[in-house]
Chain A
Amino acid sequence: MHTLRHLVLAVLATTGTLVVGYYAVVNVFYLLIHALGLLELRDDVREASYDPPYQPFDSPSYPGVGLLVPAYNEAATIAESTRSMLALNYPDMELVVVNDGSTDDTLEVLKREYDLEPVDAEVPLAVPSEPIRAVYRSTIYEELLVVDKENGGKSDALNAALWLTEKELFCAVDSDTVIDREGLLQIVRPFLAEPSRAVASGGTIRVANECVVEGGVVEEVNLPRTGLPGLQVMEYLRAFYSGRLGMNRLNGLILISGAFGVFRTDLVRDIGGYDHDTITEDFDVVMRLHKHLSELDREYTVDFVPEPVAWTEVPASRTVLSRQRRRWYRGMLETVVTHRDMLFNPRYGPVGLLVLPMFVAAEVFGPLIEGIGYVLLPLAWYVGALNVEFFVVFFLLTTGFGVFLSWFGIFSEAWSFNRYEKPGQILRLLWYGVLENFGYRQWKTAVSWRGLVEYLRGNTEWGAMDRAGFSTGADDGDGDGGEEND
């Protein structure tokens, strides 16, 4: 009996030590990334303060951009979001909307609103997607092309658009996303600064819930008062204003949000477009670009630009948010496993040697290890082995440091582009940074474990997501497609 108890205590001790040790190491990495993020943000603020004295609309040197918009069952919002995108300020733009086999009136709405007529010719390209039923052109807007195809999911829809755009760059946009009027002009900055090296750039995604959106433009930035959307504002700020900026500083940005990212068209076509077999196609395509360009020994940059902003509704119900986060977790696992040969591989530079390993340690294992910690604590208490030192250190390293990282993201926001202008909003964000650690964080850990189980079972579903549009105060905000397209 004594031996068994000793064994249990030894297991608890070893696991507890590993958990705390893990957090100590990962937090050092997070601190490094956030510090680098702050340096990068300082440079971005300085960069944004210099506006060369010339007119983009009068210049032959601006690259053309094709906006690619996959849409599945978006009848409620597609007319407005298309109008919003057509109104973006950019000198050379094309909009390719793909109706991905919607079962609602998405196509009919587009036909009616934009006076679409079918192109009386077969597509002369071997497009790597489900069959295209028809291609429509607007007789009002020269820059609008609508593709109607069989349902194949978001990657498939993006590929159809990618093969049909004629522009040098393309911007993948979710149809429920509202881009700042000047957003495209800002997100192409890396391509203007280093035309031959820039291959991709991503902008910031912010939470649109409770913002006032009129005519496809966010007119008033409001902070969700309570509940899940408010906590997600906090998460998005931390992820974009610290995490991605830090990775960018290391030239190791491996994530560009599928809701708002610009890529060099020919390069993504060269790597075969978006992979159909993944549910996080945005993560996967950036990883494949890194791989492809590193193997070619080509000098390149993948940039994060903090100021161009795209606004999106985030889920307001726990069920929908859980579905979204499980899918993200499964997709992350899938992409990491697919590209595991890049881990610790010097051939892939900072991505292979530093960013990807630490990303895996922090984002893949982090929630799982934290979950183990949450199980260990009551177990240790039950068997009378709860050690206060370990408990306090565990609490400080997870909750205490977690609050610090959240507040660091808010500081970056307040110090730089400051979209939440009122000090009251900043105070509320600081409160959310504390609040998320009590209940929400633990719930996300459980969701990640569930995502792991689904991944191990081979679940590749997107899950159905309904949408009602910004003006009606929709409460889900995820994805577009049935195969859904989020």
Chain B
Amino acid sequence: MDPVRSFLRSSLRARHRHATSGPLQTGSLGGIDERLVLWVGVVIGSLLVAVFVLTVAVSGYEAWLRRRREAVRDDVRSGLLDRLYDPDEPGWEAWVEGMNGPERHVATDLLDEYLRTLEGADADRLRGLGDALGIGERSRGRLDARDEYARLRALGWLTLLRDVPESVAAGEHDPATPRERAAVARLLYETDPEAYADRAVDVLLADAREPFPAFGTDTLYRLATTDPTAVVERAAADYGRWSPDLLAQVLVVCRAVETGLAGADLSWIVALLEHEAEAVRVEAALTLARFGWRTPIREEAFLRRATDDDSPRARGAGYAMLGAWGDERSVAVLGAALREEPNDRALLAGAEALTDAGVPREEVPERARPAWEWVREQRRYDDRARNVDPGDGEVAVSSDGHGTPDREESERAEIDAFEPGPTEGPPEGGT
């Protein structure tokens, strides 16, 4: 029925009663409207009852669980620590057999917490508790679960327990997502970095197209620290297939393991300075900043191209690269570029590069001088806050602003010692 007509009908009816019975009269419930009201009332009433009961039940149950677990937490913790540091056998199996549900839950919680912080013999001994609780066995059984989180949690536990299932070691486990690839690679790396390094790099990068989560980047970094060659060779071979975001991540890793890459073929990184994605050009320049003292990539044309990018961010990275190299030719190109630099943030990056290269104030282009003063002041305060006395001369720190001058010197010397090809030695204008 048309609601307007219905309203009018019942309103007029109400009006009639109002006239005869007083002001408190209202329209009557009747016909289809009454059923509608009833229907809406039943639906909303049912929803209210359901959500009320569920909420109270869930809250009560959670509180009950929490109380039971909290009541045993201190005892389980002290029992665990007693057995961990007992000079005799810990006897995990016997201990676990006597536990009730809440105690097992708390023991599992504590095991997770301690395995993330302990190392060496203590951690090895504690892993026996994981076996006694049956965590390893359950986790192996969940590697093929449909739910990604179940698989990830299983892989996480196996990593903490240093327990590589045969299917994973043999490459038969096929991770479905970047996150799962990272988890499998981490399991291999943590269990035996020497034995599984190549396999772990394969898992991470062989079929990769898209970027990793941060955990994956961290795992790649750990792998590259152990065996940089495997990572760099894979990158040199496959970089053309990767998405710009993945490429940028791999470059960040290469930059972080700088010393291990001495002597490797870096021409692919040089090529990436021409990549269409700004992020890749930026990371390529910053990576080359660590390896740039090789003659072939320091030709004049190359240097000028690095400072001629359309993107201010990429130009800023190019300036950082030149400043990190710090030799006379690089500094000259840097200075010339800064005289024309229109973007204030790129100018700031250039001023940082000049500071990295140890360029004195009188040689800083007029245009970059305010930025240079700013950078100098910021670094002076950085050093003061770190309780380093910078003296009264110019402060020189590493290109990322975190290293001390001494550390920077020694790192460069170390890299030089590894450098098999023709080099120009430490940057002339360096620290």
Tell whether A384 pairs with B160 under 8 Å between CB atoms, given A13-B8, A195-B213, A393-B40. no
A-B pairs with beta carbons under 8 Å apart, 7 shown: A9-B11, A137-B377, A196-B248, A387-B14, A389-B36, A396-B44, A427-B56
Name the one of A121, A193, A396, A430 contacting B40, with C-beta atoms under 8 angstroms.
A396
Tell whether A121 pairs with B373 under 8 Å between CB atoms, given A50-B153, A392-B41, A423-B60. yes
Q: Which residues of B contact A415 (CB under 8 A)?
A: 58
Are A387 and B7 within 8 A (Cβ)? yes
Name the one of A380, A392, A414 contacting B37, with C-beta atoms under 8 angstroms.
A392
Are A13 and B373 within 8 A (Cβ)? no
Are B213 and A121 within 8 A (Cβ)? no
Are A52 and B215 within 8 A (Cβ)? yes
Interface residues on B, range: 35 or more
B121 at the interface (CB under 8 A from A): no
Are A139 and B63 within 8 A (Cβ)? no
Are B218 and A393 within 8 A (Cβ)? no
| CA A66 to CA B57, docked complex, whole Å | 42
A386 at the interface (CB under 8 A from B): yes
Are B11 and A411 within 8 A (Cβ)? no
| CA A320 to CA B218, docked complex, whole Å | 48
User: A interface vs B, CB < 8 Å?
Assistant: 9-10, 12-14, 16-17, 20, 46-47, 49-55, 59-62, 117, 119-126, 137-142, 191-196, 266, 380-381, 383-393, 396-397, 400-401, 403-404, 407-408, 410-411, 414-415, 418, 421-423, 426-427, 430
Are A53 and B156 within 8 A (Cβ)? yes
B322-381: which residues lie under 8 A (CB-CB) from chain A? 344-345, 347-348, 351, 370-371, 373-374, 376-378, 381
How does the 8 Å CB contact mask read for B9-49 relative to A, with 1 for contact and 0 for none? 01110110011000101111100011011001100110110
Are B385 and A53 within 8 A (Cβ)? no
Name the one of A10, A139, A191 contacting B385, with C-beta atoms under 8 angstroms.
A139
B59 at the interface (CB under 8 A from A): yes
- Minimum C-beta distance from B287 to chain A (A): 13
Are B156 and A266 within 8 A (Cβ)? no
| CA A418 to CA B152, docked complex, whole Å | 24
Q: Which residues of A contact B12 (CB under 8 A)?
A: 9
Tell whether A408 pairs with B51 under 8 Å between CB atoms, given A387-B10, A387-B26. yes
| CA A20 to CA B377, docked complex, whole Å | 65
Tell whether A122 pairs with B374 under 8 Å between CB atoms, given A53-B159, A387-B26. yes
Tell whether A122 pairs with B370 under 8 Å between CB atoms, given A389-B6, A408-B51. yes
B198 at the interface (CB under 8 A from A): no
B190 at the interface (CB under 8 A from A): yes
Q: Which residues of B contact A9 (CB under 8 A)?
A: 7-8, 11-12
Name the one of A20, A50, A62, A383 contacting B149, with C-beta atoms under 8 angstroms.
A50
B256 nearest CB neighbor, chain A only: A60
Name the one of B25, B34, B51 contacting A404, with C-beta atoms under 8 angstroms.
B51
B156 nearest CB neighbor, chain A only: A53
Q: Which residues of A contact B218 (CB under 8 A)?
A: 54, 59-61
- Minimum C-beta distance from A5 to chain B (A): 8
Q: Which residues of A contact B256 (CB under 8 A)?
A: 60
B381 nearest CB neighbor, chain A only: A137
Tell whether A121 pairs with B51 under 8 Å between CB atoms, given A60-B218, A423-B56. no
Tell whether A124 pairs with B221 under 8 Å between CB atoms, given A407-B52, A421-B63. no
B219 at the interface (CB under 8 A from A): yes
